[in-house]
Amino acid sequence: MKVPANNLLRHYEEHQDEYEKKALEIMRSGNYVLGNEVETFEQDFAKYIGTKYCVGLGNGLDALWLSFRILGVGPGDEVIVQANTYIASVMGITINGATPVFVEPDEYHSIDADKIEEKITAKTKAVLVVHLYGECCEMDKIVDITRKHNLYLVEDCAQSHGATFKGQATGSFGDIGCFSFYPSKNLGAFGDGGGVTVNTEALYKAFRMYRFYGSEKRYYNKVVGTNSRLDEFQAGMLNVKLKYLDALNEDRRRVCNTYLAGIKNPVIQLPKCRKDSKAVWHQFVVMTPYRDEFKDYLEEQGIGSIIHYPIPPHLSEAYAYLNVKKGSLPITERVANEVLSLPLFYGMTQAEMDTVIDAINAFVPKALEQ
Ligand SMILES: *Cc1c(COP(=O)(O)O)cnc(C)c1O
């Protein structure tokens, strides 16, 4: 039996009529940009996260770089960010000319909260946390640190729609919560989409202005903004899907709990869950020093898997100019060599999960063969 790494069709096919009806309705409305669907989504998503406002944007990267632009973080400023993240988090900082200062992760793949303060300098303006793989960062400690040092706190929630830390949703702790609605995210559209959650009217108005060429009133431009709008079609699809988000996340938990109970192999390290948080399992990430061999082995048996991410941002060609040397972030670099994300999607069958579990339990690296 083949098991793909992801399969977005299981959920779509279950609610096909509803999605297609909404798609037709939007096409027949004659209104395709910044209309009722976007307004409805912004209100409902803000309510879901527990913030006053949400602003729909074109994608997650725009949410990130516009955040720092609007907060006034630019050349000469430093932003503290975890080193083990998708490169988009870092680009959100560097597009503005600011400098990322990398912090190693803890055992939950979150920024190590105990290593943040030692990186704060006179130039530090903000901390960007990434709720990677759907697990929450240690938000109580981090909120205390940013308050104490008067720093902005921005959350990259591209993988954590609906995740809660001590009962509070990610995206509601900091000044700005940045979301991506790329199709494979926990709340995914049928193309690109993004948004921010904020609690002040000033930030709400700023994002609305920046996403629309810097104008509050059409053709009266106050700042050099951009074109980054969530479109009616994507917002309409998200309005349908938002109702199912909790159920979608619950189903990911079902799969992950089955993996946690079933996978028993001394060379495969299972992910750990923070006690204070309710993760939404964007990925189920195991670690093994035999990662590449393990990935090939699964592939041979028709089991898909993905490395999130093979090259940490500081070692990517794009960031050679930062001059952060190889070996300077040893935990991040080891993790990048050992992580592998297992198949995980809504509606995985028992047979599919068993196929993955049995294959993993039978894996013996060549170096350990008798
Ligand atoms: C997907 C993702 C982004 C970028 O979102 P896009 O919508 O693809 O631009 C940013 N940060 C993280 C952690 C992501 O997973």
Residue 185 Cα: closest atom of ligand 1: 1
**Angle made by CA atoms 34, 39, 40, in degrees to the nearest 5:** 135
Give the Å distance between the CA of 344 and the centre of ligand 1. 18
pLDDT tens digits, 106-121:
999 999 999 999 999 9
Q: Which amino acid is at 56?
A: G
Q: Which atom of ligand 1 is nearest to the CA of 132?
A: 13
CA of 80 to the centre of ligand 1 (A): 18
The closest residue, in CA terms, to atom 2 on ligand 1 is: 158
Residues 6+ apart with CB under 8 A from 181: 60, 187, 188, 189, 192, 193, 194, 195, 230, 234, 238
Question: 182 C-alpha vs ligand 1 centroid, how far in Å?
Answer: 8
Distance 268 CA to ligand 1 centre (A): 27
Nearest CA to ligand 1 atom 14: 158
Q: In this predicted model, what pLDDT tens digit does every residue of 9-43 receive, in sequence order? A: 999 999 999 999 999 999 999 999 988 999 999 99
Q: What's the fold here for domain 9-242?
A: Aspartate Aminotransferase; domain 2 (3.40.640)
Beta pairing, strands 194-198 & 176-180? antiparallel
Q: Which CATH number fits domain 245-368: 3.30.420.10, 1.10.3470.10, 3.90.1150.10, 3.40.640.10?
A: 3.90.1150.10
Pocket (CB within 6 angstroms of ligand 1): 59-61, 85-86, 88-89, 130, 156, 158-159, 180, 182, 192, 194
Answer whether 347's CB lies under 8 Å from 314's CB.
Answer: no
How far, in Å, is the centroid of ligand 1 from the Cα of 156? 8
The pLDDT value given to residue 54? 98
Domain boundaries, the chain: 9-242, 245-368
For the residues of 231-251, what is the DSSP string, one character each?
BHHHHHHHHHHHTTHHHHHHH
Fold agreement between 9-242 and 245-368: no
Q: What's the pLDDT score for residue 370?
A: 80
pLDDT recorded at residue 34: 87
Pocket test for ligand 1, best of 65, 86, 186 (most atoms within 8 A of CB): 86
Q: What is the mean pLDDT of each run of 10 residues along the chain (370 residues)?
A: 97 98 96 94 98 98 98 98 98 98 98 98 98 98 98 98 98 98 98 98 98 95 96 98 98 98 98 96 98 98 98 98 97 98 98 98 94
Sign of the CA dihedral 156, 160, 164, 169? positive
User: Using CA atoms, how far apart are residues 294 and 175, in angstroms rounded to an integer?
Assistant: 41
Whole-number Å distance between alpha carbons of 234 and 57: 11
Q: Tell how far the Cα of 88 is from the centroid of ligand 1, in angstroms.
A: 6
Burial call 275-312: b when 16+ CB within 10 Å, e when fewer: eebbbbbbbbbbbbebbeebbebbeebebbbbbbbeeb
359 CA → ligand 1 middle, Å: 31
DSSP string, 188-213: --SS--EEEEES-HHHHHHHHHHTBT
Residue nearest to atom 10 of ligand 1 (CA): 88
